[in-house]
Structure 1
Amino acid sequence: MASWRGLPHRAIMSSSRISFFEVEILDCKTKQQLCFLDKVEPNHTVNDIKLMFHKCYPQWYPARQSIRLDPKGRSLKDEEVLRELPVGTTATLYFRDLGPQIGWTMVFLTEYAGPLFVYFLFYFRMPFFYGLAKAFTSSPHSVVHLACCCHSFHYIKRLIETIFVHRFSHGTMPLKSIVKNCFYYWGFAAWLAYYINHPLYTPPSYGKKQISLSMIMFLICETGNFSIHIALSNLKIDGSRSRRYPFPTRNPFTWLFFFVSCPNYTYEVGSWISFTVMTQCVPVGLFTLIGFIQMTIWAKEKHHRYIREFKDYPRIRMSIIPFLL
């Protein structure tokens, strides 16, 4: 068991006295006491407690720590203040090791750079995919080249957003999860690229009209998705910790906020539906379907969280599809 005496309080009013907290941290599984923090200021946050715990156990840096009120309860947010938690001046908290973590920026860069690289291997018809006779040949169909441009544009946009737009509320992700995510993104990119760039690939049934209409819808949805990400980023641009729900702006692409809680997912699904119609390729359709199911789950979770957190949240909004879902 480790012990740590709390930091001196930051400000003391001469006319009042501060009641310090004593914080006991137990292991979630064994209930064994790991650390006892003495004289912890009431205005300390969960993150402050994590930093103090880290001094006792250097191997468990703050991003690896899950601090809870109950062994089976939710993880407390870093910004939650000790005095506002449902505990007495002698508080018992529970610790769980989340395992090695990796920053979200690196997560997304890895997930999105991979499909770009993988797709180009098939687009340029490397010898080990289609045989030596077709190695480094070019497809005679313009839709194949257009599909490569659209696929590349989508992931380049994601990379740009990761670096310059997104503001992550959680700093890290478990290292084991990135393996699963990369397998999903990279694997599907290889599967759909193999068929779209295959020497026997045939263009869509309705020719140029089908390709042109789907390309226009693809660009509209990509623009809408980018606009929503900008709007969500601007909610946190002032650095305030106060929670606000997203709302439409002067940008017409954000007006979808009138009807759904997560229009970024709506536009994302629209992009992949357009790409499916453009290429008329079954693997792309399956990727779109699986993505839609996953994004619907995320959208519903966020939608219900907004309803619970904000009493004035617009009731007309649905999760991902206006008036339906």
Structure 2
Amino acid sequence: MSGKNQGNTFRLEVLKARGNGALTTIDSISADATIAELKKRVAQQKPELYSDRQSYRTEPTGKSVKDTQKLSELNIDKVGKIYFKDLGTQIGWSTVFFAEYAGPLFIYLLFYIRPSLVYGSSAGSKPVHLAAHLGAICWTVHYAKRILETIFVHRFSHSTMPVFNLFKNCSYYWSFTALVSFFVNHPKYTPPSFGNAQIYLGLGIFILNEIGNLSIHILLRDLRPAGSTERRIPYPNKINPFTNLFHLVSCPNYTYEIGSWLGFSLMTQTLTALLFTFAGAVQMTIWAKQKHRAYKKDFADKYPKQRKSIIPFLI
């Protein structure tokens, strides 16, 4: 009978979360087995469903359970069934990041050299404004930094993501890059209203926020041991003053990211750069609220109550 213990093992039905059909049955599995071990057992029976493609829940419409949880902790050994969701074809996080960040790097520089196919045959002879030169440098530095962070800094809690995200993320970054760079590098580009003072103010804001963003990424990297999915409460360190923003928000990396693009928008004074900043701010606010709620749930009374998610004192 399903769910009947034989010693410390039991028979487990793996049901589809959608469609109410049976995926497979595991005749004997330990009550102390983790979800990660269950994934390996299922993959042995159905090789096309490799571990990263599998997600499990205790109810058809419930939340996914963690890989580290034991079946006994979820009472699965008592009910003898668990629900499976296919996450679809997966691709490595680093592959997605390289694609979505390398694209903007090359696309922006392509417009920066003013190809005649885009701007006309006389575009190359027109002067390039200081703001356009600095814009190309800032854009290149930002995305080169992102690529280097992917290689040397970031530690991902999951090794893969759905392959659809590759197309979705690349479409977002690549199309916005083309939109922003087209106008900043246009031969008829209109310089900032307040001249060099505005340009250098925007540049200064951009640089400070890029340093802040990198500082937070390094702190978060050091917070998670290599090869671990452990979560801890992030706090400022005494070495780097840029990390003090953790006193006020849960996701200062997003706060600094928005600050960088506000500086870029001020420096170049283009509507498309401001639209890119706004779109990014909306998405990062959604992510920050999700992470903020997760922190408060995971750490309950221990989590600092004064913190907002992304904007100090407001959001």
Residue 262 of structure 1: aligned partner? 251
* Cα pair 2:101 2:146 within 8 Å, conserved: yes
Alignment of 1:219-230 (within 5 A): 219-230=207-218
Residue 151 of structure 1: aligned partner? 139
* Cα pair 2:128 2:185 within 8 Å, conserved: no
Q: 1:41 aligns with which of 11, 24, 30?
A: 30
Alignment of 1:19-38 (within 5 A): 19-38=8-27
- TM normalised by structure 2 equals 0.94
Shift of residue 159, structure 1, vs aligned partner = 0.3
Please say if 1:173 is aligned against 2:161.
yes
Shift of residue 90, structure 1, vs aligned partner = 4.6
Residue 189 of structure 2: aligned partner? 201
Q: 1:285 aligns with which of 274, 290, 305?
A: 274
Q: Within 1, Cα distance between the matches of 2:39 and 2:127?
A: 57
Please say if 1:124 is aligned against 2:113.
yes
Residue 5 of structure 1: aligned partner? none
- TM normalised by structure 1 equals 0.91
Q: Within 2, Cα distance between the matches of 1:137 and 1:236?
A: 52
Structure 1 vs Structure 2: percent identity of aligned residues? Answer: 48
Q: Within 2, Cα distance between the matches of 1:58 and 1:138?
A: 59
Please say if 1:316 is aligned against 2:302.
no
More displaced stretch, 137-146 vs 58-67: 137-146
* Cα pair 1:265 1:320 within 8 Å, conserved: yes
Number of matched pairs: 308
Residue 216 of structure 1: aligned partner? 204
Residue 129 of structure 2: aligned partner? 141
Q: Deviations over 1:253-308 (max 9, x none)?
A: 11100000000000000000000000000000001011111111111111111111
More displaced stretch, 173-182 vs 186-195: 173-182
Name stretches of at least 5 consecutive residues in structure 1 with no aligned partner.
1-16
* Cα pair 1:22 1:39 within 8 Å, conserved: yes
Name stretches of at least 5 consecutive residues in structure 2 with no aligned partner.
1-5
Aligned-partner residue type, residue 162 of structure 2: P
Please say if 1:91 is aligned against 2:83.
no
RMSD: 1.6
Q: Within 1, Cα distance between the matches of 2:139 and 2:109?
A: 10
Q: 2:219 aligns with which of 221, 226, 231?
A: 231
Q: Structure 1 residues 197 and 268, CA, compared in 2 at 3 Å: closer, same or farther? A: same
* Cα pair 2:155 2:226 within 8 Å, conserved: no
Q: Within 1, Cα distance between the matches of 2:134 and 2:258?
A: 19
Q: Structure 1 residues 133 and 235, CA, compared in 2 at 3 Å: closer, same or farther? A: same
Secondary structure at the residue paired with 1:158? helix
Q: Structure 1 residues 243 and 59, CA, compared in 2 at 3 Å: closer, same or farther? A: same
Q: Structure 1 residues 240 and 118, CA, compared in 2 at 3 Å: closer, same or farther? A: closer
Q: 1:189 aligns with which of 171, 174, 177?
A: 177
Shift of residue 214, structure 1, vs aligned partner = 1.2
